[in-house]
Amino acid sequence: MYKWIMSTIVTIACAFGVYLLASGLPEKPKEEVLPAGEELLKISASNFEFDQKEYHVKAGTKYTIKFSNKLGKHGAEIKDLGINLNENNPTAEVTFDKPGTYELHCSVMCGQGHANMQSTIVVS
Domain ranges of the chain: 38-123
**pLDDT tens digits for range 72-91:** 888 999 988 889 998 888 99
pLDDT at 92 exceeding the cut of 70: yes
pLDDT band at 1 (very low <50, low <70, confident <90, very high): low
Contacts of 8 (CB under 8 A, 6+ apart): none
Strand 38-46 to 62-71 pairing: parallel
Tell me the mean pLDDT in the region 105-120.
87
pLDDT at 100 exceeding the cut of 80: yes
pLDDT of residue 66: 92
- Which superfamily, per CATH, for 38-123? Cupredoxins -  blue copper proteins (2.60.40.420)
pLDDT at 121 exceeding the cut of 90: yes
Contacts of 111 (CB under 8 A, 6+ apart): 48, 72
pLDDT of residue 112: 84
**pLDDT tens digits for range 17-64:** 888 888 876 777 777 777 777 888 999 998 888 999 999 999 998 999
pLDDT at 122 exceeding the cut of 80: yes
